[in-house]
Amino acid sequence: MNDAAPPPETSELPTLAESVAYVRELGKPTAAEVLHTARATGRVALQPRCGVGSHAQMMTLLRDLEQHARPDILTLTIDSHTRLKRFDNARAVLLRNSAELNGYPLVTHGWQRGRELNEAVAAPLEVRHGSPDARLLFETSVASGITSFEGGGISYNLPYSKAVPLSESLAAWRDVDALCGELAGRGLVVDRELFGTLTAVLVPPSISLAVSVLEAVAAAREGVRCISVAYPQGGHFEQDVAALRAIPLLAASYLPEGVEVHAVLHEFMGVFPKERSHAEDLILYGALVARLGGATKLITKTYLEAYGIPDTRANIDGLLASRANSPLLDFIALDEERVGSELDWILQEVAEIVEPVLATTDLHKEIEAAFAEGRLDIPFSASRYARSEVIPRRAPDGAIRYLSPGLLPFSDRTRRRNEESLATTGRSTGLGEMVKGLTSDVNHFLNVFGESPAAAS
Amino acid sequence: MNDAAPPPETSELPTLAESVAYVRELGKPTAAEVLHTARATGRVALQPRCGVGSHAQMMTLLRDLEQHARPDILTLTIDSHTRLKRFDNARAVLLRNSAELNGYPLVTHGWQRGRELNEAVAAPLEVRHGSPDARLLFETSVASGITSFEGGGISYNLPYSKAVPLSESLAAWRDVDALCGELAGRGLVVDRELFGTLTAVLVPPSISLAVSVLEAVAAAREGVRCISVAYPQGGHFEQDVAALRAIPLLAASYLPEGVEVHAVLHEFMGVFPKERSHAEDLILYGALVARLGGATKLITKTYLEAYGIPDTRANIDGLLASRANSPLLDFIALDEERVGSELDWILQEVAEIVEPVLATTDLHKEIEAAFAEGRLDIPFSASRYARSEVIPRRAPDGAIRYLSPGLLPFSDRTRRRNEESLATTGRSTGLGEMVKGLTSDVNHFLNVFGESPAAAS
Amino acid sequence: MRHENATRTVILGVAASDAHVVANQLIAHSLRAQGFTVVNVGACTSVAEFADAYSWHPEAEAVIIGSLNGHAYEDLQDLPAARAQGLLDCPVILGGNLSVGSHKDASDAERFRALGVDAVLSDPELLPATLDQLRTRAPQPLAAS
Amino acid sequence: MRHENATRTVILGVAASDAHVVANQLIAHSLRAQGFTVVNVGACTSVAEFADAYSWHPEAEAVIIGSLNGHAYEDLQDLPAARAQGLLDCPVILGGNLSVGSHKDASDAERFRALGVDAVLSDPELLPATLDQLRTRAPQPLAAS
Ligand code: B12
Ligand code: B12
């Protein structure tokens, strides 16, 4: 088999009924089932990221990971051409040199190869990507028998593209969610993970969770039955634990019954330390956040994070992350008072952000309008369709706060609390100072480990 | 170089003055200096065990460990023929097949090769062995410029030999300690680590610490200036943390000023789980005990512990142990009340054991007599010269208690507390039952991880 | 000559398939704080869009392209053509994480110079100095680590 | 014949260079609990000492040697001679961790049989059954895993 070449012709997708039957015959649990069991047994399910361009190498990678790291769920990370529907570029690079793709071009390889991957391993697969419009990718995934699909109309637009209007991405994701609803009706519950990680860097917990609440409400309305709310580790222990613990509470407040909601932690997604032992300290730290925050699933990182897509060895070497499930760590006590106060703070901020939006009648329209007006916002947006007037900073203890909440509809109390916690951080006395401070906050863990911020390579 | 062959003739040892000068020229810190710095900077110094028969392979092993694991102190573990002065057997195996030796036969290889090893790495070396009479080995070590030496007249006799009277081993170790005193006079402080680990399996903390207190007092009297008190991780978090925290308090109570005393944790020395991920959970657990107990040094284990002497890869792979120094774990809070009560308990028991012995005039004589009469005792003694009437058991929470304190001079209060904590463990209703219970306690971590006790191999 | 303008303008953006903008935004802020006028075209910017921006801002003394997702080489395939057609008639600086994988090849920079990139940088702090040097039109294309 | 004795005696000990006694003591306790008379000569016992113990306890139906430190082979070098001289005229059972290193060689047991060991065991729970079998003097030396 010429592993790089895509199949000669694009072939018709099977019917939904056929795909549902295929999943049934596959003889492995769905992602939703794995998550359900993990939560019921008090385990944190583990999932590494992985995706390479070549089909043959993708098979090997999945098999190696399964054999050596025994993950609960496996990933197909999609390349960024496919994400942006640059299918021609994906095909061109695949034919030229598949090693230059930063993920697996599933649409180009086609659903039959997707099934081959699925059949190669016992763990269910999730497709992780970053596509504002993922309809074709989703259909290909379903045809491949893949039972978990990441993304959402906000979270896979604003961080991942520049010029796709929110109305378009929200509509595209409504189609995906509606298809999930239909599949659920046919007895196949697809896990839909919402990408609360957003731009990953200095994301205030309440922004991450607010966006996920809105996407979850939208998804549930289309009939989605299993929702994973992903939260990106920010770096402050009690704040992160509180954010994870907020997820079931938010689900209870804002989602209909009958939707299963899981808290998922994405291990730190910002600037990673370069030295292996430092990276590993951070990976273990993330595992402990997941454990103590009660996450159902942990998406792991590797010690090569600062360098680039990890090699197989590094990805197998999930030693540190798997400590999340050590039976020996029950002795760890927390500053529960601090966790409690962070939790109150988060719930309050999320309520102030989402409740005005949820109170309107046309959710999609309102989301678009709110982003246009800055009542919804995210920092470091890649897209023009969010204002990015929010400026996050770290408080002296490392917690992420709002230096400026931009136009978010925060109460005076919320504003004051944020201001107070940043009191000693100092209002920027000029753009240069502010950028310096922000850069230092972005490089938080380099500072912790005394690494210089010079780029890795 | 024929790496297996010992040097053709045994050559004269250099004078002490020459050895002291050699250490000075070596241009590396002594073990005592490394420990001092570690404590001053709040680090846990890390030390793997290692020792192979062949000189060439020992060189490689030390270099590999240094390069890849960057330990603070490196080990020469001595083979068990040399330990028991079976030098002829050591030489025979070395010539036949050096891979069959379970350690490095330093006396047979000779001090010049010892210096070669010492010069091959930047970290100071410690000799770890288990010799009731280590005089020749110690002289060879000093001649090799090795600045840390493990053992003691009790702790390297009772667990390591059957028929050496305590008077002999205590006298032999008095010579070693006196030589340390002389070296200190010449400006070279040799770190003397006391092997509180004893028989390693179900050792009640107060027995480990009591033996170390007695050995430390004896060593200090001979002029030893740097004492490392090693404590074996027993498996119960708060009990182990308390035991480590007891060490500086005991030093303050029983040792003269001017002696530097370090707490050292030996990662769990009992039956290790066989599955790699379980072993790694346990290794991390030990690292956290060391960190939270304030140990100056941690002697690490590997995931191959249950199988046999680890290969180099496993020994390099100290990923889990090095988390002891993670700057990210300050969030961990403990049940300090429980730690405090364990600490009181330990200090009380140690006092009841050692104070009558220390009150006499001839310490060595009294130690020998006390062991003969069971006023001093250890469980699972290999030697005839301890009665082993002490029977340890684990309480339901895993803490190690005295099912029977034998003839230890415990107060009624102490006896009662031990009895109460084992109340539900049930007094043995017969030998069979007691052995079953004891075996299950020995296999504690197999039980925790659900492994079967069938032998590894 | 544009070099004598009081304010110095640069065009800044991220390569076509790449959405990583944190460094992009920080670099923009920082160059602005140092007095540059920054035309930031942001994420997912094709060579054609860079050329477009240049046509609106011919005073720009350089086009600065970031790429982190490993796709820089594919994303700049149209650069030689654009330069040949004179659509990008100023120095092009490239920086970021330029290939897929954790083990980078030192010869990588060569590939990009062959595409018409004038300088490959990794540390954005070096941008002002690099811009200064490129202004003096050093005969040799400049490489910094 | 000693087999008809009411109590069954065994000699138990640990090889010459080996001080590991936890298993030894637990095995002793356990065999006693099962009705055996155990002469436990303990740690660091040379072949000569085992022979000695046998000369005092000729009723012993087996000598059971444990070794954990990896030195079993060197520690039993004198066994063929002792057996040839009739000094150990009963079955010898060996168990524990019999070689140095973490990766064990399946052919290990052969080496020990060549030295005159009748059975190599790893699980002490199999001792009573093994003793029973050896009593019936099966013509083939017996191996269990
Ligand atoms: C945050 C992040 C994201 C966010 C980006 C949000 C956003 N819109 O900005 C999200 C989650 C959306 C994301 C998505 C993806 N990411 Co990303 N991401 C990161 C992460 C964790 C941090 C990047 C960051 O913001 N750093 C902070 C800034 C300040 O620093 P920096 O970007 O590292 O830049 C430094 C230098 O490179 C340099 N620099 C940067 N740009 C420029 C430009 C010039 C001119 C110069 C001179 C210097 C320069 O200066 C900076 C300071 O030193 C990195 C890994 C890491 N921990 O570093 C991965 C990483 C960059 N991502 C990676 C990848 C592959 C992706 C994806 C393709 C998904 C995937 N397959 O894994 C998608 C990309 C989708 C797309 N279309 O591009 C890889 C790149 C792999 C490679 N090159 O081999 C990385 C390295 C992760 C990894 N180890 O695999 N990502
Ligand atoms: C406790 C211990 C010690 C204590 C022993 C105290 C004492 N006097 O008993 C101390 C700290 C003193 C010690 C010293 C040494 N030890 Co040690 N020790 C251990 C340890 C941690 C536990 C052993 C134990 O007591 N287990 C509990 C009992 C109940 O189980 P067990 O011994 O494993 O036995 C099981 C089976 O082997 C079998 N079995 C045992 N004996 C017999 C006999 C028969 C007839 C049968 C049928 C079955 C059988 O049944 C048991 C239950 O399943 C093991 C590693 C481990 N975690 O298992 C290393 C270990 C046995 N030690 C080892 C070594 C090498 C040493 C030293 C030489 C030091 C060194 N170089 O590292 C010295 C030995 C000195 C000497 N002269 O022998 C190695 C052996 C290496 C090898 N074979 O490759 C081990 C495996 C550690 C390692 N991974 O390196 N040790």
Distance CA A280, CA A268 (A): 11
- Quick one: pLDDT band at residue D138, thresholds 50, 70, 90? very low
A285 and B CB contact within 8 Å: yes
Tens digits of residue pLDDT in B349-383 = 999 999 999 999 999 999 999 999 999 999 999 99
Task: Let me know if residue C53 belongs to a domain.
Answer: yes
pLDDT at B297 over 50: yes
Of B158, B161, B257, B258, give the one whose Cα is nearest residue B210: B158
Of B171, B265, B261, give the one whose Cα is nearest residue B218: B171
- What value does the mean pLDDT take over residues B10-24? 92
pLDDT > 90: percent of chain C: 77
- What value does the mean pLDDT take over residues B237-253? 98
C3 and A CB contact within 8 Å: no
Going B136 to D20 to B62 to B235, the CA torsion angle's sign is negative
Average pLDDT score over chain B: 94
pLDDT score at C145:
40
Ligand 2 pocket mutation pick from D69, D117, D130 by most atoms within 8 angstroms of CB: D69
pLDDT score at B455:
53
- What value does the mean pLDDT take over residues D10-20? 96
Distance CA C117, CA C64 (A): 10
More confident residue, A429 or B16: B16
Q: Which residue is listed with tokens 């191959």?
A: B304
pLDDT score at D136:
80
Specify the CATH number for the domain of residue D112: 3.40.50.280
SS3 B251: helix
Q: Which two tokens stand for residue B321?
A: 């142990």
Could you tell me which residues are beta bridge partners of residue A228?
Answer: A193, A262
Q: Are B241 and B204 in contact (CB under 8 A)?
A: no
Task: Let me know if residue D102 belongs to a domain.
Answer: no
Distant-in-sequence, close-in-space partners of C133: CB < 8 Å, separation ≥ 6: C142
Q: Which two tokens stand for residue B92?
A: 């025979």
Task: Let me know if residue C38 belongs to a domain.
Answer: no
Ligand 2, atom 80, lies closest to the CA of D69
Q: Which two tokens stand for residue B330?
A: 């300050």
> Is the CB of residue B103 below 6 angstroms from any atom belonging to ligand 2?
yes
Out of A281, A284, A331, name the one closest to residue B237 (CB). Answer: A331
Protein residues whose CB sits closer than 6 Å to any atom of ligand 1: A 49, 51, 77, 80, 83, 102-103, 130, 159-160, 197, 199-201, 269-272, 305-306, 308-309, 380, 382, 442, 453, 455; C 17-23, 26, 64, 66, 68-70, 93, 95-97, 100-101, 121-122, 124, 127
Task: Let me know if residue C102 belongs to a domain.
Answer: no
- Quick one: pLDDT band at residue C139, thresholds 50, 70, 90? very low
How far, in Å, from the CA of B124 to the mean position of ligand 2?
Answer: 27
Cα-based torsion angle of the residue sequence B122, B127, B128, B133 in order, rounded to the nearest 10 degrees: 180
The alpha-carbon gap from D100 to the nearest alpha carbon of chain B, in Å, equals 6
Q: Are B223 and B178 in contact (CB under 8 A)?
A: yes
- What value does the mean pLDDT take over residues B320-331? 93
Q: Are A297 and A35 in contact (CB under 8 A)?
A: yes
Instruction: Annotate A358-385 with three-state secondary structure.
Output: HCCCCHHHHHHHHHHHCCCCCCCCCCCC
Ligand 1, atom 7, lies closest to the CA of C20
Distance CA C7, CA C129 (A): 16
The alpha-carbon gap from C105 to the nearest alpha carbon of chain A, in Å, equals 9
Q: Are D10 and D36 in contact (CB under 8 A)?
A: yes
Q: Which two tokens stand for residue C113?
A: 């110079």
- What value does the mean pLDDT take over residues B152-163? 97
Q: Which two tokens stand for residue B310?
A: 């680890």
- ipTM for the assembly: 0.89
The alpha-carbon gap from B304 to the nearest alpha carbon of chain D, in Å, equals 6
Ligand 2 pocket mutation pick from B133, B199, B380, B447 by most atoms within 8 angstroms of CB: B199
Pick from A367-381, B38-52, C90-104, D41-55: least confident = C90-104
Q: Are C63 and C89 in contact (CB under 8 A)?
A: no
| Best of C17, C27, C98, C99 to mutate (most A CBs within 10 Å, chain A) | C17
Q: Do B285 and A328 touch (CB under 8 A)?
A: yes
pLDDT score at A427:
62
D74 and B CB contact within 8 Å: yes
Task: Let me know if residue D15 belongs to a domain.
Answer: yes
- What value does the mean pLDDT take over residues B317-330? 90
- Quick one: pLDDT band at residue C133, thresholds 50, 70, 90? very high
Cα-based torsion angle of the residue sequence B439, B440, B444, B445 in order, rounded to the nearest 10 degrees: 90
Pick from A5-14, B35-44, B244-253: least confident = A5-14
Tell which atom from ligand 1 comes closest to the C-alpha of A49.
72
Q: Are C87 and C50 in contact (CB under 8 A)?
A: no
Tell which atom from ligand 1 comes closest to the C-alpha of C65.
45
Ligand 1 pocket mutation pick from C69, C93, C105 by most atoms within 8 angstroms of CB: C69
How far, in Å, from the CA of A192 to the mean position of ligand 2?
Answer: 51
Ligand 2, atom 81, lies closest to the CA of B308
pLDDT at B2 over 50: no
pLDDT score at D108:
78
Task: Let me know if residue D13 belongs to a domain.
Answer: yes
Tens digits of residue pLDDT in A110-151 = 999 999 999 999 999 999 999 999 999 999 999 999 999 999
pLDDT score at C142:
42
- What value does the mean pLDDT take over residues C87-101? 93
Q: Which residues of A touch C67 (CB under 8 A)?
A: none
Distance CA A299, CA A267 (A): 6
Q: Do C26 and A80 touch (CB under 8 A)?
A: no
Residue D123 structural domain: 3-33+44-93+107-136
- Quick one: pLDDT band at residue B453, thresholds 50, 70, 90? confident
Could you tell me which residues are beta bridge partners of residue C143?
Answer: C120
Q: Which of B150, B260, B349, B352 is catalytic?
A: B150
Give me the sheet containing D62-67, strands edge to edge.
D37-45, D9-15, D62-67, D92-96, D119-121
pLDDT score at A343:
98
Could you tell me which residues are beta bridge partners of residue A297?
Answer: A45, A264
Please say if B63 is a catalytic residue: no
Ligand 2, atom 33, lies closest to the CA of B271
Chains A and C form CB pairs within 8 A to the count of: 112
Type of residue found at A174: R
Chains B, C in contact, 3 or more Cβ pairs below 8 Å: no
Q: Which residues of B touch D45 (CB under 8 A)?
A: 162
Going B337 to B339 to B342 to B347, the CA torsion angle's sign is negative
pLDDT score at C103:
84
Could you tell me which residues are beta bridge partners of residue A148?
Answer: A126, A191
| Best of A288, A319, A325, A447 to mutate (most B CBs within 10 Å, chain B) | A319
How far, in Å, from the CA of A221 to the mean position of ligand 1?
Answer: 34
pLDDT score at B317:
84
pLDDT score at D122:
87
Average pLDDT score over chain A: 94
pLDDT score at B6:
60
pLDDT at B457 over 50: no
B269 and D CB contact within 8 Å: no
Distance CA B112, CA B106 (A): 10
Q: Which of A83, A115, A291, A417 is catalytic?
A: A83
* Domain assignments of chain B as residue spans, ordered by start: 16-329
pLDDT > 90: percent of chain D: 77
Q: What angle do CA A179, A180, A184 make, to 5 degrees?
A: 115
D123 and B CB contact within 8 Å: yes
Distant-in-sequence, close-in-space partners of A293: CB < 8 Å, separation ≥ 6: A240, A241, A242, A243, A244, A245, A263, A265
Tell which atom from ligand 1 comes closest to the C-alpha of C68.
61
Q: Which residues of B touch D19 (CB under 8 A)?
A: 80, 130, 159-162, 382
Q: Which residues of A touch C96 (CB under 8 A)?
A: 455
Q: What is the DSSP string of A151-201?
A: --TTTTTTTT-SS--HHHHHHHHHHHHHHHHHHHHTT---EEEE-TTTT-S
Distance CA A82, CA D3 (A): 81
pLDDT score at A457:
46
Distance CA A101, CA A113 (A): 17
Tens digits of residue pLDDT in A2-39 = 455 655 556 789 999 999 999 999 999 999 999 999 99
pLDDT score at A426:
62
Q: Which residue is listed with tokens 């070098």?
A: D77
Distance CA B36, CA B30 (A): 10
Q: What angle do CA C91, C97, C99 make, to 5 degrees?
A: 100
Q: Are strands A297-299 and A260-266 parallel, antiparallel or unpaired?
A: parallel
Q: Which of A150, A267, A366, A451 is catalytic?
A: A150
The alpha-carbon gap from A50 to the nearest alpha carbon of chain C, in Å, equals 12
Q: Are C46 and C73 in contact (CB under 8 A)?
A: no
Residue of C nearest to A430 (CA): C33
Type of residue found at A218: A
Task: Let me know if residue C100 belongs to a domain.
Answer: no
Out of A201, A310, A454, name the one closest to residue C22 (CB). Answer: A201
pLDDT at B89 over 70: yes
Q: Do A308 and C99 touch (CB under 8 A)?
A: yes
Average pLDDT score over chain D: 89
SS3 A332: coil
Chains D, B in contact, 3 or more Cβ pairs below 8 Å: yes
The alpha-carbon gap from A61 to the nearest alpha carbon of chain B, in Å, equals 21
Which H or E element spans position B347? helix B336-358
Q: Which residue is listed with tokens 């415990």?
A: B410
Chains A and B form CB pairs within 8 A to the count of: 63
Tens digits of residue pLDDT in A386-406 = 999 999 999 999 999 999 999
Please say if A260 is a catalytic residue: no
Q: Are C62 and C90 in contact (CB under 8 A)?
A: yes
Q: Which residues of A touch C14 (CB under 8 A)?
A: 382
Pick from A51-65, B203-217, B242-256, C2-16: least confident = C2-16
More confident residue, B233 or B313: B233
Pick A16-329's CATH classification: 3.30.300.30, 3.20.20.70, 3.40.50.2300, 3.20.20.240. 3.20.20.240
- Quick one: pLDDT band at residue C67, thresholds 50, 70, 90? very high
How far, in Å, from the CA of B245 to the mean position of ligand 2?
Answer: 28
How many Cα atoms are found within 13 Å in the side-chain-facing hemisphere of D10? 28
pLDDT score at D5:
53
pLDDT score at B426:
62
Task: Let me know if residue D117 belongs to a domain.
Answer: yes
Distance CA A449, CA B144 (A): 37
Tally of structural domains, chain C: 1
pLDDT score at B5:
60
Tens digits of residue pLDDT in A149-160 = 999 999 999 999
Distance CA B446, CA B201 (A): 14
